[in-house]
Structure formats: structure tokens, C-alpha cells
A and B are shown apart, each in its own frame.
Chain A
């Protein structure tokens, strides 16, 4: 138990280091942008008054040496004061929090859908090795690796929304429907199918290949030979023995992919008008609201750090060997 606490404490310290590095990176990006950092902080919208600009310069100490500026910047950003967005006339932090849950919904759905179907397809491919179903699944994985996400999304819209008319083209809820309770959930669910489906496809291919490779690797292990020697059926060997062990790298990968999923959600949300963080990032690009974009980047990176930390901690509970490492 003591070792576990020490391990978690070490991971926690590590996470703090990474968050500090992200703050430093954000600060550097802010200074890389053309012009004075105050113009960036004010959102380049040109709507900031000279008084506000002066106030910004004073608050962030832009007339001070760089080290002092960094110190003040870090203090502000760690207190979650990410500045003000003139385009939206709201504090950046409030804006981001308002857009957080649609993105989380999209990401969770994608994660669950892609891990389950991906593992299942990987299982099908590995058990039917060198047969037609393995070939088809491998070709499918290869093609989805090469498919641009935005294009896939648009083609899904063409097929399912425009040609067939089964699903809505964009948004998260039907406008003006004012559904409540279960009807609202159902409506959101209908809007969720296409974006989550598009985002899932790439990751599904990833987990399919990983699961297939991982199952085949496990199939060569000594314990499988033992199981076979004591007369277990192939089906039972897979379901009771190899599958569990083969799932470990898949779960690890799922944790590592959080960052990628956030990047993919910028594209998917833009294509489907899903009102989450990704769409907000796209809108901030258009409005040249760099400070908002940097705020989204900062909080997204922090989310990934938190998820990785959670995965690490869950692992110590699942696999006692990790404690010692």
C-alpha cells in the first residue's frame, strides 16, 4: 500500500511538471504571435479600448522583464483566469466550460464505440486468421487509416442526411423543438450518431489492428499451450484466457489517444456543427481570437494530463506488478 501511495505521488508530481510545461509553452506561443502580447490577449478584434489595453499591459506586466511576465502569466492561468474574449464578450474560462460537455459526450461515445467494435473486429480477424474475414477486416483497417476525417464526415452527411434523409446534418439539437427529458436525450442521440460514427471509424481501425496483433501474440504464449494440452476448446481458450491479456495494450492505447481524440473533434465538430470545444476552436480561428484558442489548447492539454493520470492510477488497481516498477 505504501508503495502504491508513493507511486501515485510520483505520478502526481510528474503531472504537475507537465502542466507547468504547458503553461510555459502557451506563454511562448503568446510571444511568438505578431505584435504585442496585449493585442493578442485582447483578441485582435480591434474592439478593445486603449484603456483596456493599458490595463491589460499593467496586469500582465508587459512592460516588465520576461521572467516577471512569465511569473504573472503563470499565476493568472493557473488560477484559471484565461482572459476575456471580446468576440463573445465573456471570460474565456466561462466560454470553454459552457462548451465542454458536448465535447465530452462526443469523446466518451467515440471512445466506447471504437474500443468495443474495434476489439470485436480484431477478435474476429485474429480467430479467422488467413481467411476471408481477416483479409476484409485488414483492408477495412488500412482504408480507414488513410481516410481524411473531414471528408468521411462530409460523405456521411451526403449519404445519410441528404440522400437518405435519415439523420440530421448538423447541430446537437433540433432548433425550436424545445424537447425535454427523454425526448431531448433521444434528439441529441440522433444528432450524435454521425459525428461519433465518423470520429470512431479511424480509432476503430487502430484498435482492430492492435487487438489482432495482441491476440496473435498471446496465442503463442506457454499458458495457451498448457490450456490446449489440458483439453480446453479453442473458443474457451480465447474467451477465458487470451482475451483478457490481449485487452491490456488496447486499454493503454485508449488512454494515450485522448489527445488525438481532442484534435479529431475539432474537425468533426466543424463538419457537423457540433457545439463543443472543437467548434469553438474553429470559430476562434475565424475571429482571429488567438487568446481563446490558446485557452482551449491549455485546458485540452490539461484534460489529457488528468486522463493519463487517472489511467495510471486505475492501472495500479488492476495490475499489482506496476506498483513495483
Chain B
């Protein structure tokens, strides 16, 4: 663990990323105390400029933009984490089975992931949310559905390589059950690349979510950064900051997560560092 944090700390950008991410997490956790009540409620005069009575001003309907940013952080992180968790679970199970058993299962999975790589992912997510209706659950589901194939392909490749290793052959020789070999012996050895990919997927998930909510496909009762940008779009000419501020929040969060992902990559694969 000490060696891990030292290797992580060697990547300065990753440390900065971790700092920003920590700040966003604190903001998300503290949102109910920073700005109690609904972020949709009328807080003051519409379109008050930033750095006055309200830190980031108010939007066209007099909603406090700063409150929206705080509550939006919750939404972004929640959706990013849950969607990624779903995609990683599904991708690991399916990819692991394909890599371990090979044959027809593997063929089928490769066909399916190839199909998913062909269809336009974002458009598919839009169609899914449009069909299922705008809610937190359908956004999460849509993001998970378009992102699991990448995990499945990665895990399948790792399992395929592990399958031929001696320790796995030994496990099979000992008569171990497949589930035990997969979860106790192979999976822990593949965790590093899965963790790195998962961290980058959280960032992508947040970007997809913000795109969907910008298009008006988010849950109408949940505040999100993409929604804020979309709501400010109409008054771009007179109050450009209404679009600018939530966008900066998205950018910083996604950037921070990407930096953390790279730091994890360096820390978990010390051998790759030489390249």
C-alpha cells in the first residue's frame, strides 16, 4: 500500500486530479447542508449576476446556480459510479465466461460486443432513454448498456491469457470448481487493468450523462450540470455564465477522474512505466 501510494504520488498530475476529485466528492456530500431544500426552488431575482448576493448568480427562473452545482455534483457522481459498477459487473462476468470457457460462448460474446461497437453509442443511449422514459434509472441503464462491451472485451482477453498459465492449469488439475478458479484465482490477477478502465469509464459516463441531460433527457426532478447548461442556453447572449459555470464543473470533474485513472495505471502497472 505504501509502495502503491508512492508510485501514485510520483505522477504529479494524478495528485492534482485526486485533489480536485476529493473536492467534488466533499461538495456532493455536503450539498444538503450547503444549500438546503430543492435546488429547483426560487431563490432570488432571476438573472442576478455572479459574485453578488449569490456566488454564481441565479438563472432565468431565479434558481440559485451554486445550489444547482452542488446538487448536480451528487447526480453526476452517483450516475457515473452506479452506471460504471453495472457495466463492470456485467462486462466482467460475461467477458470472464467467454475467456474461460472459449468455444461457442466466446464466439457469441465477440459477435455481440462487435455489434455494440458498430452501432453509434451515444445515439443508442438517446434512443434507450427516449424509449424507457426520462428517469435516473433509465439514464444509468442506458449508460451501462453502451459501456459494458469494452469491459467484456478487456476481461475476455485477460482471462484468455490467464487460462493457459500454470497456476490455473494446476487449479483445474486439483479439481477445483470453475467458479472458485474464476473468482478466487484468475479475477484477482486481472483486477489492475479493470480498475484503470473502470476509472476512465466513470469519466465517460459523466460526459454521456451531461450530454443526455443537456438534450433534455434527464429526470425532470433531479438537478444536473447538463440540465443547467441546457436551461441557460436561451439567454446565452445576455448571461453566458449560466452555461459557462456548470460546464466548467463538468470539465474539471471529468479531467480529475481521467488524471486519477492515469495515476492508477502508473501505480498498478509499474512495469509499463518504462515505456
List the interface of chain A (C-beta within 8 A of B): 17-18, 21-22, 25, 29, 32-34, 142-143, 145-151, 154-155, 157-158, 162, 256, 259-260, 262-264, 266-267, 270-271, 281-282, 285-286, 290, 293-294, 296-297, 300-301, 304-305, 308
Contact = CB atoms under 8 A, between A and B. Distances in A.
**A-B pairs with the 5 shortest C-beta distances?**
A263-B122, A151-B247, A146-B255, A259-B120, A146-B254
Given A148-B210, A151-B251, A162-B240, A259 B121 contact: yes
Contacts, number: 134
Given A162-B236, A271-B233, A282-B215, 8 more contacts: A22-B119, A145-B255, A145-B258, A146-B203, A150-B210, A154-B240, A259-B123, A263-B121
Contacts of B121: 259-260, 263
Contact of B226 (A148, A158, A294): A148
Nearest to B217: A285
What does DSSP make chain A's interface, helix, strand, loop or mixed? Answer: helix
B115 A285 contact: no
A52 B33 CA distance: 55
What does DSSP make chain B's interface, helix, strand, loop or mixed? Answer: helix
B211 A259 contact: no
B269 interface: no
A141 to B, nearest CB: 11
Is the interface on chain B under 10, 10 to 19, 20 to 34, or 35 or more residues?
35 or more
A148 B236 contact: no
Contacts of B117: 256, 259
A293 B130 contact: yes
Interface string B233-275: 1001100100110110011101100110000000000000000
A148 B120 contact: no
A271 B125 CA distance: 19
A266 B254 CA distance: 21
A304 B118 contact: yes
Contacts of B131: 29, 32-33, 290
B54 interface: no
Contacts of A256: 117
A284 to B, nearest CB: 8
B207 interface: yes
Given A285-B215, A290-B130, A259 B229 contact: no
B247 A155 contact: yes
A267 B133 contact: no
B116 to A, nearest CB: 10
Interface string B169-188: 00000000000000000000
